[in-house]
Structure 1
Amino acid sequence: MLASTLRRSSARAVGHAPRTALPGRRVLCSAPKDRSVSAAMPLGVGVATGGVAGVVSALTGVGGGIILIPALAKFTALSQQAINGTSLGAVALAASVGAWNYLESGACNVPLALTTTIPAIIATKYGVRTAHRLTSKKLSLVVGSAMLLCSPLIFLKNSPYMPKWSDSQDPLDLQFFVPQLKDLEKARKSVGEGEEHASVADTAAAVSAEYMERVKTDWAGFAMVNTKYVFAGAAAGFISGLCGLGGGILITSYLTAASDMPQATIIGTSLLSVVPTAASSTVFNLRAKSIHLPTAARIGGSLAAGVYVTSKYVTQDVPEDILRGVLGTTLGAAALVMMRRAI
């Protein structure tokens, strides 16, 4: 009888316990942080952040994570893993929109993008796993320092102080699948006065046909020359999963410094390579419950709108030097952000 009385008393105590003592629910994010800041980004801030990130993404070829990650850290209470995952979820949507616009206009090196994408997808899961097991501070410092050192190379391209690396590269290099700046300039100069010069599409078709003829005669040399893009893609994928960046900033910087492709083609190629990489990271983050879907949807919509408008109506008409200036500035700012996270 005493036991039954005690059971009834404990049941009444539990029934009258305040609801605030119970743990709150979490929506697809990792360990909760301070509740004084909401897990979801405010609507106005999310739209503004996504729009700015979309414009920068379309002008540089980066996914937009370099803007989204600091904003998510400032305006939400999400953990760093959830911030990375939410950023990549939004980037995957927006990069697909921008890549389609560049692909439709012919400003994209599809074989090169695929060569970097496949190893990036494989390496992404290791970056995500590492992000959940280890602190990324040291790696953020290393990557940020490397990006900061690369920034001057972007500004100095085509200047008398910068060697023309593409002139000494193997003709089997995948960058030569599309017209280089010198090819487009040569096509314009070869047209007589009063004649209509060949379109970019015609020039691209001729250059691609010549390239494929060279590849058919030396498949082994083709594979050996382009192995560097496999390693570049793997590095981009690992960094993507670890730091929440789409990986495009590494691909864009490398192609800008080491190739003579038009900047619009570099941007389109980078965005195309970002799509499957960011999508793969998003899948792994969903399984790990490291993505806040309401916030990802909120900033993803405005991010996609910014990318679409800029890539469709702006980038193709912007001079090469201005595009490189925007990229160099963005790269330097991203490097400082990553290095600050490591301090």
Structure 2
Amino acid sequence: MTAEAADSTGFGSPGKGAGLRGTGSKRNRWIATFSTGIVAGLLAGLFGVGGGIIMVPALVYLVGLDQIRAHGTSLAAVTVLAVSSGLSYALAGQIDWHLAVLLASGSVFGAWFGAKLLPSMNPRSAAIAFNVLLVVTALRMLIGGGDSGTHRSLTLWLSVALVVAGALVGLLASLLGVGGGAVLVPLMVVGLGMPTAMAKGTSLAVIVFSSVVGTVGNRRHSNVDVSAAVMVGLSGVVFGFIGGQISLGLSDRVADITFALLLLVVATKMAWDLRRDRAPRDGDLQPG
């Protein structure tokens, strides 16, 4: 795909840059974007993530956005999906609001800083960093570890550590276009001994805050394709809620293994394309 076919003119410009890779069909772009929202919504609800781990590669490889713009667009859609998915957990009382506030207070600063860094980030580096995140998350989920059953009490120092952790998650969210749930859920389950369902619900609550702040910053730098973000977000709203309902009755181990395998498939695809085409190449996928 040429540089012209991958620039940031956005989802709504079929003649230059937004086309579905290999087809250029506007109808296929809409189908791909709608389908991406459905899958991302289900994953957000099932696993307590924002859905960016699916949206970023889908927006790049199916919808045709450049890597940087895909990150910003994904994060915008994550906001909607996190709200709808988190509703299931909130209704079931599976959100630790005290913990969510601590993590979110740090995440908003990290997301703001990440949005400022994103325009200058090397596109190829962004793709590689995202791929590493996928592999690390998949391995962590395969290894498992389960709930410790002992939810740690929040001391002053632990509260400070959580704010710092939230800042790092917000930074990650803004730079990579993900909600940060891939980091938050293992952190709360393994580090704090929180039950998996509550960790997922709390993760989604934090993601709402960090994704909003990151998206505002990304919009200022024109790194969000609004039409694609709206399409993905709205198409996944109902499925995010459904995914949350399914997750509340699903075995943690089965969900973790299934999701880890999915991550490895996506990571393998991205690694293959990076090796085959040396893409996204520096200069090929620079935003507008």
Q: CA deviation at 1:155?
A: 3.2
CA separation in 2, counterparts of 1:256 and 1:341? 33
| Secondary structure of 2:72 counterpart | helix
CA separation in 2, counterparts of 1:34 and 1:154? 34
Mapped pair 1:319 → 2:254: no
The match for 2:76 is: 89
CA separation in 2, counterparts of 1:34 and 1:317? 39
| Secondary structure of 1:226 counterpart | helix
Cα distance, 1:84–1:145 mapped onto 2, change above 3 Å: closer
**8, 23, 35: which one aligns with 1:48:** 35
**137, 142, 156: which one aligns with 1:155:** 142
Does the 8 Å contact 1:59/1:315 carry over to 2?
yes
**How far does the alpha carbon of each residue in 1:175-220 deviate from its partner, in whole angstroms, 9 at most, with x for none?**
xxxxxxxxxxxxxxxxxxxxxxxxxxxxxxxxxxxxxxxxxxxxxx
The match for 1:130 is: 117
What amino acid is the match of 2:37? Answer: G
Rg larger for: 1
**220, 229, 233: which one aligns with 1:296:** 229
The match for 1:67 is: 54
What amino acid is the match of 1:172? Answer: S
What amino acid is the match of 2:247? Answer: T
Deviates more, 1:250-259 or 1:263-272: 250-259
The match for 1:225 is: 158
Q: Which has the higher contact order (CA 8 A, sep 6+)?
A: 1
CA separation in 2, counterparts of 1:294 and 1:139? 23
The match for 1:194 is: none
Ranges in structure 1 where 5+ consecutive residues have no aligned partner: 1-24, 174-221
CA separation in 2, counterparts of 1:235 and 1:118? 11
Does the 8 Å contact 1:98/1:271 carry over to 2?
yes
Q: CA deviation at 1:315?
A: 1.4
Give me the TM-score of the superposition, normalised by structure 2. Answer: 0.78
1:238-249 alignment to 2 at 5 Å? 238-249=171-182
CA separation in 2, counterparts of 1:75 and 1:145? 21
Q: CA deviation at 1:226?
A: 2.9
Mapped pair 1:254 → 2:187: yes
The match for 1:215 is: none
Cα distance, 1:261–1:323 mapped onto 2, change above 3 Å: farther
CA separation in 1, counterparts of 2:222 and 2:256? 37
1:96-245 alignment to 2 at 5 Å? 96-135=83-122, 137-138=124-125, 141=128, 144-145=131-132, 148-149=135-136, 151-158=138-145, 171-173=152-154, 222-245=155-178
Give me the TM-score of the superposition, normalised by structure 1. Answer: 0.66
